[in-house]
Structure 1
């Protein structure tokens, strides 16, 4: 019997372009494969032992004769390639209408209302890389006290502020004001607080980021598990992505290694249900910044700690290593890329050398977890429980 499922999100670790990726402006993208090509190969022996290299179409990691777990990849049905839509589909929702984006900045009436409510002017109001816009406007922000507002190709309204110029509490209040404004026809997936520190030419974002999300558009796997009395632990930005819905306990993390530490802590605790972890550094620090070498180092650092995670697992535990979208650091621009996501599953009750093939939706993972935990499902996705359980 399965007592716990660890849903372990390697944020943005895609494995190749989806058939419709060109519709999203993505041609030839492959986060893992292109990192391997650009950096001379990836060394991920622990994920490789479980089955990562045996997934059809993956480049840079050789298959092995008898992987320890189950492996495959999944397509995204939902209309998008961002964090929110990817995570929502992973827990059983299909979002057919894309969330609102603002590639040319936010409308004047929105910005006028926002500035009136916060009592300050703003800087920016355009699509930009989060680090580039600090280099461009950080000094002026420090001189004027005006927060920096920007967006991206994703459905986000981001507010950057130096922690010594606008205290965190005030920045968070600004984000709540923006959240209240960006609803209805202007609803975006997330309002994101982007605090930073340092001096001009040496600014750095801090771990005090906070996301103000929309509620999911329907009941998710997390809601169902919580309502059935199971624990649903959110590690990293999970609580933010779901606006707290369906979460029984949450801990925010400073970086990938902290996320792994917290996952181990909860594995060593007495809980039953779902441990939902997101490691965001791959996306935030290396994908968006188009740094394949840094991305590779972060992947290899994570892989080196997988034995610690597996050693903490009990007989009724399984772990699913997967992702939420791609973010190919060798591709143009600075935005996510529409890709397949890997599925690599391990546990004492999991059949070895099991090829799941290409799943038609991320929601197959949600349906499978529902079946494993013997709880109702959202109605989306096809379960592969019978393929993986001994």
Structure 2
């Protein structure tokens, strides 16, 4: 019986989308720019050196997907060990408004987000609704202080998560006020020392903030616990949690459950979908551990199951931090691990590798970038064909739904017939 495994390389874009100019991202290309920096020797560090090497992803069609997206191919060394293709490939263009993580994930699972979520832009100078320098309305902050039993907050601005705890961590520890911050995404983030402020208290505070976010149509509240001291430095821990607005319509997870199948979420997938229609939640941290958890589910997941893993470190640790060498090293780690999966797949299994948006580490700022994403498919039953360029990530979800026999979804067009040789390749 059929099973499907979707591996999301968070932020792995392959070229600026046609509407990238609206977001200030025209010319962004996460994969190509990383490869070019590596080829020029500008992405060498203790973890890696030389040209980018991702031959296994190239065997699945990554290079072809890149060429279809932007008309460029990777420098030769990236796929030097690649032989014939063993996967079908397509290019996805997001139609959801914005370039946030939930909108990308929801769209690929059959639910585009046509209206942009709310965000917290810089306040207009002199606006009486805001305190000086605050990105959050005074009325919102006062409500949070009252309900949360806190005397105030630090930050209240747009910031990098690592930068703001380095800057305000000591003041937070001394005075007990949590650190509030946002970004270009639809997020309200709360950083607090998990031992001194308390992890349970941080989660409770984020829960009540989530209740206030519906008014502002904000997609996520994120708890960012950290540990350490001012003397030795502060470091974020693995106890991050996201409180996401629930999907307004059914996603592929709902369709699988409705047909009696099993849904498995690894990493932060369950949080992204507000735990809606998820049977089994598996927490893992770091690319190697997330991959190991995925391998375990390929061995153990039952028939009629859908497993989805988010590999967050590409985005969280390297894209947003504009760490080109780190992103390259993580791609090479994932590529080295990938061959573990192939011999474990049953003839009725479908493997999908994709992304939710871009986050070009060579780009200015530290926000996501509006890009095409690769959609790579592998199964013993499908041909290594070009499935084309598609408007909407939901076509991928519709294809997986057809594979599992649980569709059709409300959005998207399946290209399963192309992969099965029943329709001509694109």
TM-score, normalised by the number of residues in structure 1 = 0.97
Q: Report the Cα distance in structure 2 between the residues aligned to 1:270 and 1:249, rounded to whole angstroms.
A: 10
1:68 matched residue in structure 2: 86
Tell me if 1:77 matches 2:109: no
Q: Report the Cα distance in structure 1 between the residues aligned to 2:98 and 2:112, rounded to whole angstroms.
A: 10
1:232 matched residue in structure 2: 263
Q: Report the Cα distance in structure 2 between the residues aligned to 1:218 and 1:180, rounded to whole angstroms.
A: 20
Once the two structures are TM-superposed, the CA of residue 243 in structure 1 deviates from its matched residue by 0.5
2:47 matched residue in structure 1: none
Q: Which runs of 5+ in 2 are unaligned?
A: 40-50, 123-134, 422-426
Contact 1:211 1:240 in 2 (8 A): yes
Once the two structures are TM-superposed, the CA of residue 270 in structure 1 deviates from its matched residue by 4.1
Q: Work out which of the residue numbers 255, 264, 269 in structure 1 matches 2:286.
A: 255
1:346 matched residue in structure 2: 378
Alignment RMSD (CA, Å): 1.3
Between Structure 1 and Structure 2, whose CA radius of gyration is higher? 2
1:303 matched residue in structure 2: 335
Q: Work out which of the residue numbers 315, 318, 328 in structure 2 matches 1:286.
A: 318
Structure 1 counterpart SS, 2:16? coil
Tell me if 1:195 matches 2:209: no
Q: Report the Cα distance in structure 1 between the residues aligned to 2:258 and 2:96, rounded to whole angstroms.
A: 25
Q: Report the Cα distance in structure 2 between the residues aligned to 1:377 and 1:246, rounded to whole angstroms.
A: 17
1:133 matched residue in structure 2: 164
Cα deviation code 1:315-337 (max 9, x no counterpart): 11110100000000000000000
Q: Which runs of 5+ in 1 are unaligned?
A: none
Q: Report the Cα distance in structure 1 between the residues aligned to 2:149 and 2:173, rounded to whole angstroms.
A: 16
Cα deviation code 1:256-284 (max 9, x no counterpart): 11110110111111413211011000000
2:63 matched residue in structure 1: 53
1:21 matched residue in structure 2: 20
Q: Work out which of the residue numbers 87, 95, 109 in structure 1 matches 2:113.
A: 95
Once the two structures are TM-superposed, the CA of residue 94 in structure 1 deviates from its matched residue by 1.6
1:171 matched residue in structure 2: 202
Contact 1:366 1:377 in 2 (8 A): no
Q: Report the Cα distance in structure 1 between the residues aligned to 2:118 and 2:255, rounded to whole angstroms.
A: 28
Contact 1:74 1:343 in 2 (8 A): yes
1:146 matched residue in structure 2: 177
Once the two structures are TM-superposed, the CA of residue 250 in structure 1 deviates from its matched residue by 0.9
Q: Report the Cα distance in structure 1 between the residues aligned to 2:420 and 2:197, rounded to whole angstroms.
A: 52
Once the two structures are TM-superposed, the CA of residue 103 in structure 1 deviates from its matched residue by 2.3
1:331 matched residue in structure 2: 363
Once the two structures are TM-superposed, the CA of residue 378 in structure 1 deviates from its matched residue by 2.4
Q: Report the Cα distance in structure 2 between the residues aligned to 1:166 and 1:61, rounded to whole angstroms.
A: 49
Structure 1 counterpart SS, 2:302? coil
Contact 1:89 1:362 in 2 (8 A): yes
Contact 1:102 1:155 in 2 (8 A): yes
Once the two structures are TM-superposed, the CA of residue 311 in structure 1 deviates from its matched residue by 2.0
Structure 2 counterpart SS, 1:344? strand
Cα deviation code 1:71-90 (max 9, x no counterpart): 12110011111101000101
1:363 matched residue in structure 2: 394
* Residue 61 to residue 268, structure 1, CA distance change in 2 (3 Å): farther
Contact 1:221 1:377 in 2 (8 A): no
Runs of 4+ deviating beyond 4 Å: 61-65
TM-score, normalised by the number of residues in structure 2 = 0.89
Q: Work out which of the residue numbers 147, 150, 156 in structure 2 matches 1:117.
A: 147
Q: Report the Cα distance in structure 2 between the residues aligned to 1:378 and 1:308, rounded to whole angstroms.
A: 31
Once the two structures are TM-superposed, the CA of residue 163 in structure 1 deviates from its matched residue by 1.3
Contact 1:327 1:335 in 2 (8 A): yes
Contact 2:154 2:178 in 1 (8 A): yes
Structure 2 counterpart SS, 1:114? helix
Q: How many residues in Structure 1 have an aligned counterpart in Structure 2?
A: 387
